[in-house]
Every structure is written in structure tokens, then in C-alpha cells.
Structure 1
């Protein structure tokens, strides 16, 4: 059995969300909206420009500054509802600095779900792009855009990565599971841990080195990763009628609201809620370089992609709209494989990040239950 094209369109293919105008918006519409692209869709000239900008930002101390900010405010921006708005504003601030070097700069994203089965083999981690695992006792990275760099925060050290599992990280989270989290999350209280403790955490942990520290913005993967996390939040906001949903605990334990200030930036959360307004003058582009794509002719309606009970439990939105289901290209049928169990966060990492261990384990158990349900339904993923 295969999931529909419509089901995976938001996450697996990366279609940009539709902007929604809402009366709660207090920011003016942007006169010019630029696009954040998937990293590997950059042209060679764009990538050459971006590499020169990143080198200049390192020379001028911006990597150290953003690593310092993230470390300083770490406890206030994880494990509660500041997580999404803070990181949206944080990545935008980084992007704004990049634009000071060249206005054409727009922070790309890495659709890690494309590479979830074998992360270490991702083209993103090749020498032509971000470079791979670190080497030697200090796990120094020698290739890629940051190869051979010396980072200056919190002290002088070689730029490092230390991939988990002896350099071959276990599988990350599938596009199907992340789509399921998005469909099943009725509020931020559900969405935030569902994303933060799954895809967000495992990428930080498995890349290791600088990326696994509180000063993780030392690794540009941080910005690519959080742009992708932001893209998923935006899809939930715009496609699930949650444009103005903000709930859960704030830094002091009180209830967060749209009028709560974003940590460090001292401006209300409502200012960053809607892309295309105020300072948030960007959108997310589609991902045109997936290893497998849906056939243009794959539009035949089918009525039972998964048993109704499984569909209703894990993909409630899709279950409510059976007419939206489309068939999968036969070529993809042949290449499908069962979804593997994702890797888990270590107790040591959970402790160092000061996360709620019980909450993390609930998310991991949910992900394993999802994989079991897909296996029992004989579902094979084309991704």
C-alpha cells in the first residue's frame, strides 16, 4: 500500500504553504517577497556567492556572535513554546546579516527528510557542499564550505563534527511521520514537542561536534536545519488553519500568547507569525531535486490507501478528504521499502540539553508506534 501524493505534498515534496490574510495581522504586507530555496537547488553561481558570504561572516565574527546568543538564551528557547518563534526570528536575523554582504542572500533550508534513511550519505554532507564527518581526535572537518575553519566561541577550536554510531547515524524521521505529526497536532502544545524532540533533536545529536553543543550555530547546518523546521511550522500554520495559534508555557511558566515578547529580541511573537508581512518578507520554495518524484499523470483516485482505521488514527486530515487521494506512479511502487525505526536521543544528550526526558520518550514511543502501524498495514515508503 502507498500513501497518496496529496498526503505527502506538504512535507515530502516541500510545496510552499499558501499565505492566509487574517484580521489579527498588525504588520504591513511586504512589497517584495524573496524565496528560501532547498540547498541543493541553488545554482552554481548562487552557491559560489553564498560561500563567499559565509566566509566573510566567519571573518567578521558573526558565527561566534550567533553561537553566543544561542548559548546564552538556550534554556529559554527549548522545551517550551518560545522554540518556534525564537528560531524563526533568529534565522531571519542571521539572514539579515547575510544580506548586508549581498542583498541576493536568502537562507536556504535542508530537507533532511529526503535523506532520512542514510543521513551520512546525503549530498548535502559531501565535499562540494557542507563537508562531512570530522577526523582525528578533535573531529576537525577538513572539507566543505567550513573545512579547516577555526571557530572562536566559546574558545578557539577547529570546526568539528562527530557523526553518531561510528560515523554512520541511524535513520532519522520519515516524511510520512512528520506529516502525521502535523496532521495530528491540534495546537502548539502538541506540535512543538512532536517536532522538537524528533527531527530537530536527532539532527543536532547525530551530526555531533559543534552541532551538538549549545553553541550549535557554529555549524551552518544549524541555519539550514532551523530554516527547515520553520518551513514545517509554516506549513502547519497556513495549511491547518493555525496561522495565529500560540499556546503552551512561556519561559516563566505562564501561558504564552501572541503578545508575549520573543526571548532576546524584545518584540511580540505576533510580529513573526505570518510570512510575507512585516519583516518576514520570505517564502519557502518547492524542492525540485528529490530522488523520486510523482508522475504528472499519477492522478487516479483511489479509495483505500491505508485501512480506514489506520488512516484516521495517523492521518486524520487525509481521512476526512478521500477525494484528494491520488495514486502513486508505478515506478515508485517498485522502489518502496518499509519505514525504519528512527534513531533515539541519548540520555546524556537529553540531560545536557535540559529537556523533559519523559516528554522525549513519549515522542519516540509515538514514532515507533507509527512505524509498527505502517508495517502492519504493509505500507512501503517510496522515500
Structure 2
């Protein structure tokens, strides 16, 4: 990819390169931040002992030494999880106005661009660009240029999703108004200020999602980009959103920090499909765009200046999936 100065300049006016050498944000004493620190120190040690026995989609090794790996959240060290979650918290503390934080501004990007982001060919590249916007801001606000967004292998937890460690106190907390986990007491600003809410679609549980075998078949047998995009978007992507419910079920889904891990998994599956069969799918793109015209690599990914072509290769954006 070229080195255009505007490449990662988004609605917040930041570039990812600006994160290198950026000052660290001082943690101010909010009650939910102190709770986060205690829980992090007490509970995150389970990360190193979580079993990896469940089947999962095979990881693709980073093919460029400069690419930073996005790891499944269970693969993170306690220090890596703490760095990521603290950076998200820092974005929530960084205020753009009296009541609106940088995180809220980022979340509203999805609300304002739903037509571009859903139900058309740009679904996958748009979300890839959106993930990069968050990742760039995490690095900027923390001063840590090595932070990447972890992904949630939802297929691994597909049969009993509510039993995923992600819903425990060590990570994202559970059902209802979120009062446990790293983001306990989180209050999104849009569409109006409210406690972060999850409403599991099966009472205290979540209905089963597509298994790893089903998703593996989609990756290995689908040859058309448009068919692949449709199957992925209407499959586990949609089921995860409706299964978790609450904020995740609507256009305000990015209010919930769990959104980013779920979308990173969707991006990972696209990356695997692009690299399948010796990379024959790497440049495939097609279908209809947000205006119902024939989709093209030159289509712009609003609200950014980037085109689809800019984001077709994950490792050109400086990351890979581990």
C-alpha cells in the first residue's frame, strides 16, 4: 500500500503513525477503572491455563515480519489483555465534549454509516477499515504501538456461547446491564446515555451458532466473493449480534466493546478465505455496493477517503491473524 498521509485519517482526525511516541494517558480515579484494575490483577491469571482443546479454524502465520499478530483473546498474556482493555478505557475517558468521549465518537461511526456497512459488497472491507480506526486510536491514546485488537473465535464457543470465558468477570462480563468484567458500569452516549446492555436471546443463555465445521466449509468451498460475503454476514456474524442482544443487536452495536472482538473474527475469516487455495481469492470482489451499483475496488469506504482496494490485504495494513 502507498504511504498517503491521509490513509488512516478518519473522522477523529488521527493517523496510526502518530501513535508512535505519543504520550501515555494518566489514569484518573474512576470507580469502574479501579474495579477493572482489581479484577485484572485477580482474575486474568486464568488466561495462561485456559484449555485449547476445542476445534478452531487454522491460523495463518504472519507472512511479513513487520505485521503484528491479532490473537484470539484466550491466547493473550495477562499483560496483553490489560494493555488492550486499558487502552479502550482510555478512549472512553478521553472526552470530546462534556458528555461525549472519543470511544463514543468511534461507536457512532457505525450508527451513521449503517447503509455502507451492512447488506452489500462493502460489508467486509468497511469493517476491516473500521477495525483499523479503533486499532490506530488504541495505539495513539496508550502510546503503545504494539497493541492489536484481539478476536473472539465464536465458532469455538458456538454450541454453548454463553459459557464462553469472554462473558466472565475476567473479560467482558455477562448478561443484562453490564455490571461485571473489565467494562462494568460502562455507559454509552448514543443514541442517548444509558448503561451498556446485553439481552441474551435465550433467557440466561444464547442459542447455538454455526460450528467450526460449517464455517470451515464456507471458507473452503465458496468461490464467489458475493456468495462468501452473504454467507458470512448472514451466518455467525448476524447470529452473534442477535444472540448477545441489547446494544449489540442494533446499529449502536459498537457501544459494546465485545463488538470489536466479534468483528475481528469476521475479518479473520475473510482473511482466511482470501488466502485459501494458494491465494486465488485474494483480489476477488463483487456484487452490489451500497448504492446498488456494481461493486468495484474503487468504491469509497465512507466516511473515510479510502477505497476497497486500500484494504484488500490485511498484512498491507500491518497486521495478521495468529
* Interval containing the TM-score (normalised by the shorter chain): 0.7 to 0.9
- Whether 1:117 aligns to 2:149 is no
- Counterpart pick for 1:53 among 56, 63, 87: 87
Structure 2: distance between partners of 1:93 and 1:275: 14
- Whether 1:272 aligns to 2:311 is yes
Structure 2: distance between partners of 1:31 and 1:133: 40
- Whether 1:261 aligns to 2:300 is yes
SS of residue in 2 equivalent to 1:164: coil
TM-aligned CA deviation for residue 258 of structure 1: 1.3
Contact 1:51 1:145 in 2 (8 A): yes
Whose Rg is larger? 1
Contact 2:201 2:243 in 1 (8 A): yes
Which residue pairs with 2:34 in the alignment?
none
**Correspondence list, 1:365-380, <5 A:** none
TM-aligned CA deviation for residue 18 of structure 1: 7.0
Structure 1: distance between partners of 2:315 and 2:116: 27
TM-aligned CA deviation for residue 119 of structure 1: 0.4
TM norm structure 1: 0.65
Which residue pairs with 1:291 in the alignment?
none
- Provide Cα deviations, 1:300-351, integer angstroms capped at 9, x if missing partner: xxxxxxxxxxxxxxxxxxxxxxxxxxxxxxxxxxxxxxxxxxxxxxxxxxxx
Unaligned runs of 5+ in 2: 1-54, 95-100
Contact 1:82 1:263 in 2 (8 A): no
- Size of the aligned set, in residue pairs, is 258
Structure 1: distance between partners of 2:104 and 2:261: 17
**Correspondence list, 1:1-383, <5 A:** 12-16=56-60, 32-60=66-94, 61-100=101-140, 101=142, 102-134=144-176, 140-240=177-277, 241-277=280-316, 280-285=317-322
TM-aligned CA deviation for residue 44 of structure 1: 1.0
- Provide Cα deviations, 1:85-104, integer angstroms capped at 9, x if missing partner: 00000001100000111222
**Range moving further from structure 2, 178-187 or 209-218:** 178-187
SS of residue in 2 equivalent to 1:112: coil
Contact 2:62 2:69 in 1 (8 A): no
TM-aligned CA deviation for residue 251 of structure 1: 1.2
Unaligned runs of 5+ in 1: 1-10, 20-29, 135-139, 286-383
TM-aligned CA deviation for residue 170 of structure 1: 1.5
TM norm structure 2: 0.77
Measured on the aligned residues, the alpha-carbon RMSD in Å equals 1.5
Structure 2: distance between partners of 1:17 and 1:245: 21
TM-aligned CA deviation for residue 31 of structure 1: 7.1
Structure 1: distance between partners of 2:214 and 2:123: 20
> In 2 relative to 1, CA 18–50 (structure 1 residues): closer, same or farther, beyond 3 Å?
closer
Which residue pairs with 1:331 in the alignment?
none
TM-aligned CA deviation for residue 204 of structure 1: 0.3
> In 2 relative to 1, CA 14–187 (structure 1 residues): closer, same or farther, beyond 3 Å?
same
Contact 2:169 2:181 in 1 (8 A): yes
Structure 2: distance between partners of 1:86 and 1:69: 11
The structure 1 segments of at least 4 consecutive aligned residues displaced by more than 4 Å after TM superposition are none
Structure 1: distance between partners of 2:107 and 2:229: 22
> In 2 relative to 1, CA 17–33 (structure 1 residues): closer, same or farther, beyond 3 Å?
closer
TM-aligned CA deviation for residue 188 of structure 1: 1.4
SS of residue in 1 equivalent to 2:320: strand
TM-aligned CA deviation for residue 17 of structure 1: 5.9
> In 2 relative to 1, CA 17–231 (structure 1 residues): closer, same or farther, beyond 3 Å?
farther
Structure 1: distance between partners of 2:237 and 2:127: 12
